[in-house]
Amino acid sequence: MRLRLRLERFLIGLRGLALLRGWPFESADAADAQLEAVRDVLSRHDDSSTVIDVDDLDVRDAYASWADTYDGPNPLITAEEPVVRSFLDGIQAGLALDVACGTGRLARLLGDFGHRVIAMDSSAEMLLRARTNAPGAALVRGDLRRLPIQDRSIDVAVCGLALTHVPTLRRPIAELARVLRAGGHLVLSDVHPVAVATGAHAFFVRADGTRGVTRNEVHWPSEYVDAFGSADLIIERAAEPPFDESFVEEMPEAAIRDAAREALVGLPFTLVWLVQRNR
């Protein structure tokens, strides 16, 4: 399905979010400036307003379409990956599993830490990229809800920015727990639910310049906690890396960058967990 998205809708939404963040303690002058910016957008809104065509895709088609450009600059990964690296640092090297590996960025990171790596994804197109990015990993095609891995065979598992696409967390987290050895670790990252609830879906640009998107689901931290508890996983650490200026600078127009800077910077962008399989 093709979505026709008006840029003004996004711009006014950012201004509204900025107003809510400042309510009620921000100065009247700052609030008036936001309101004036909204009035300015509305006064210019007509049939010539900016419209962006975006293909609304299911997850499989989206990642097949995205594979060629996925490794371009991505502020979400810029926020998430240093935390994943810090959580993996110090975990003893062993047999590691990268679930929903995409183009192999975390599989490569696991290899850098000395692990023997299995990289799994449901997308053949993504695995083709992973073959180049993580040449030492064994590549497997599979579904994260039915991992083709033996029980209690993995020392450390990672799952990066993938569970945001599933409707509920309990089943995939139970699968991740099933394959971990007693005492094994799981590092799980996702788009923060605050970000998803305010419009952070998986937008991307193909090599030919056309755009696509696939939906992210809102999973509040309590849902993760419940799923971890049901799977006999113990939470060791959690982090919520925020939106920063690098995200704002990726915005296409100065007006959007200005609005996003006031609306988003400092809000949580990603959610990263380190959990351990109960002995």
Is residue 201 in a domain? Answer: yes
What's the rounded Cα separation, in Å, for the pair 273 and 192? Answer: 11
Q: What is the CATH number of the domain that holds 230?
A: 3.40.50.150
Is residue 216 in a domain? Answer: yes
What's the rounded Cα separation, in Å, for the pair 272 and 189? Answer: 4
47 pLDDT higher than 60: no
Is residue 70 in a domain? Answer: yes
Q: What percent of the chain has pLDDT over 90?
A: 89
pLDDT band at 100 (very low <50, low <70, confident <90, very high): very high
Torsion angle of the four alpha carbons 38, 199, 243, 204, in this order, in degrees rounded to the nearest 10: -110
Residue 252's pLDDT is 75
26 pLDDT higher than 90: yes
Looking at every residue in the chain, the average pLDDT score rounds to 95
**How confident is the model over 57-72, as pLDDT tens digits?**
999 999 999 999 999 9
Is residue 111 in a domain? Answer: yes
Residue 45's pLDDT is 60
**How confident is the model over 187-236, as pLDDT tens digits?**
999 999 999 999 999 999 999 999 999 999 999 999 999 999 999 999 99
Angle 224-227-231 from CA coordinates, rounded to 5°: 135
Dmax (CA) of the chain: 63
Residues in Cβ contact with 72 at an 8 Å cutoff, skipping those fewer than 6 apart: none
What's the rounded Cα separation, in Å, for the pair 18 and 23? Answer: 9
Residues 37, 261 contacting (CB under 8 angstroms): no
Whole domain around residue 78: which residue ranges? 57-246+268-277
What's the rounded Cα separation, in Å, for the pair 74 and 249? Answer: 11
Q: How many domains does the chain have?
A: 1
Is residue 133 in a domain? Answer: yes
What's the rounded Cα separation, in Å, for the pair 84 and 74? Answer: 15
Is residue 33 in a domain? Answer: no
* Mean pLDDT, residues 100-116: 98
Q: What is the distance of C-alpha 217 from the center of its chain?
A: 11
**How confident is the model over 241-271, as pLDDT tens digits?**
999 988 888 787 888 899 999 999 999 999 9
178 pLDDT higher than 90: yes
**How confident is the model over 132-173, as pLDDT tens digits?**
999 999 999 999 999 999 999 999 999 999 999 999 999 999
H-type alpha helices, the chain:
7-22, 28-44, 59-66, 75-88, 105-112, 124-133, 170-179, 193-197, 221-230, 245-249, 254-263
80 pLDDT higher than 70: yes
What's the rounded Cα separation, in Å, for the pair 218 and 220? Answer: 6
Is residue 5 in a domain? Answer: no
Is residue 72 in a domain? Answer: yes
Residue type, 231: A
